């Protein structure tokens, strides 16, 4: 599995090396994090953690799948203490190789069972729903489909955008494969490509293209709309939640795990527990430009969002996504979505 995942993410690794901050060697009173969460999102949380505990965070930022491949390559020599992935599949891929330690029950039980690892190796830190974001000046809400499969139709030719290298999009493809099978998933991806789907480097870029009117629909996570509105309050973009059970309605989670080889295990555990504190969960849910779903009881989501319990894609255990990631990456490469 290591070779497959490494081979499929070589290009992503090159990009990560170019843009990430190299992690310093672990020292007393510090914790080294490989973060698939962006620096703009994660750094304020790390600063809050340091202020509260005195523990310094050395962060390396990059694509979640690429960071997972890096950890697999580094093996027992990885300097990482914590892997914080954008979605459960990338962290699950590391877990499947036996590189993550078992988390305490007190940590895991802070979140609902659907957002924690069956083998107790990772825990969800926030929820994110897949949506169709759309340009409200170009599309009437009544025109929007209830299923992502409809996007291969003539109405949407040249008008759909997505970020193929994004970890959450890749997790969505894994969910579709598990729900509908590889053949139908391949047909869907090829159908989108034949329908002149447009590729972007990330979810934010998809939302910006929607605001410009460059496309009419984008496949993204729900909270990117809040980020866009924080910068462009009048942007003509809204979210459309797909029908229950549709692969496009999947609810995934960001997830964190602690490396078995962590040099700063106690500090790593404090960081993971901090991410599940009410203080951190409130920031994740309602901080400036933030609108992810809190997973800890007693913390309210941003107003206007559907209840997370009302959102349900296919009944897929998120713990299965780790094993599916290499196959999904290979499929995306075969159909020309990634290199």
Taking the model in full, what pTM does it have? 0.87
The answer to whether domain 2-125+252-306 and domain 128-249 are alike in fold is yes
Cα–Cα distance measured from residue 124 to residue 328, given in angstroms and rounded to the nearest whole number: 21
Residue ranges per domain, the chain? 2-125+252-306, 128-249
What pLDDT is attached to residue 319? Answer: 85
* Class of domain 2-125+252-306 (CATH, top level): alpha beta
**In whole angstroms, what is the distance from residue 279 CA to residue 295 CA?**
12
- Which CATH code for domain 128-249? 3.40.190.10
With a cut of 60, say whether residue 334 has pLDDT above it: yes
pLDDT tens for each residue of 161-214: 999 999 889 999 999 999 999 999 999 999 999 999 999 999 999 999 999 999
pLDDT tens column, 285-329: 999 999 999 999 999 999 999 999 888 888 888 988 888 989 999
| Residue (of 133, 205, 135) closest to 166 by Cα position | 205
Measured CA to CA, the distance from residue 232 to residue 225 in angstroms comes to 10
Q: Is the pLDDT of residue 75 over 50?
A: yes
Q: Give the whole-angstrom CA distance, residue 7 versus residue 336.
A: 16
CA distances, 58 to each of 21, 33, 102, 333 (Å): 9, 6, 23, 33
pLDDT at residue number 322: 86
Mean pLDDT of 85-106: 95
Q: Do the strands 30-35 and 56-61 form a parallel or antiparallel pair, or are they unpaired?
A: parallel
Dig out the tokens for 89 from the structure: 């599949």
Tens-place pLDDT, residues 57-71: 999 999 998 999 999
Average pLDDT over residues 110-137: 96
Locate 287 and state its tokens: 């901080």
pLDDT at 98 over 80: yes
Q: What are the structure tokens assigned to 219, written together?
A: 């496949």
Q: What is the mean pLDDT of residues 241-267?
A: 95
pLDDT of residue 312: 84
Question: Cα separation of 284 and 7, whole Å?
Answer: 33
The pLDDT assigned to 72 comes to: 96
């Amino acid at each position: 599995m290591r070779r497959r995942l490494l081979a499929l993410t070589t290009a992503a690794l090159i990009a990560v090396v170019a843009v990430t901050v190299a992690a310093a060697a672990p020292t007393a009173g510090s914790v080294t994090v490989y973060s698939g969460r962006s620096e703009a999102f994660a750094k304020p949380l790390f600063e809050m953690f340091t202020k509260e505990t005195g523990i310094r965070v050395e962060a390396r930022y990059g694509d979640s799948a690429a960071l997972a491949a890096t950890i697999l390559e580094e093996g027992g020599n990885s300097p990482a203490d914590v892997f914080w992935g954008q979605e459960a599949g990338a962290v699950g891929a590391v877990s499947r190789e036996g590189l993550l330690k078992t988390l305490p029950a007190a940590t895991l039980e802070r979140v609902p069972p659907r957002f924690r690892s069956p083998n107790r190796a990772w825990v969800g830190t926030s929820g994110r729903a897949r949506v169709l974001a759309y340009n409200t000046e170009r599309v009437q809400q009544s025109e929007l489909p209830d299923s992502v499969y409809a996007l291969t139709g003539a109405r949407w030719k040249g008008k759909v955008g997505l970020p193929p290298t994004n970890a959450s999009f890749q997790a969505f493809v894994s969910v579709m494969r598990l729900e509908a099978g590889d053949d139908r998933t391949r047909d869907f991806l090829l159908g989108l490509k034949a329908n002149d789907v447009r590729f972007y480097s990330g979810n934010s870029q998809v939302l910006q293209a929607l605001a410009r009117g460059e496309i009419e629909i984008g496949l993204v996570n729900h909270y990117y709309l809040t980020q866009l509105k924080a910068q462009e309050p009048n942007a003509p973009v809204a979210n459309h939640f797909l029908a229950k059970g549709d692969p496009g309605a999947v609810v995934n989670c960001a997830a964190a795990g602690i490396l078995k080889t962590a040099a700063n295990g106690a500090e790593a555990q404090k960081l993971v527990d901090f991410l599940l504190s009410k203080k951190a969960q409130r920031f994740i849910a309602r901080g400036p430009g933030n609108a992810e779903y809190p997973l800890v009881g007693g913390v309210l989501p941003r107003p206007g969002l559907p209840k997370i319990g009302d959102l349900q894609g296919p009944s897929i255990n998120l713990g299965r996504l780790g094993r599916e990631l290499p196959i999904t990456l290979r499929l995306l490469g075969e159909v020309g979505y990634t290199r």
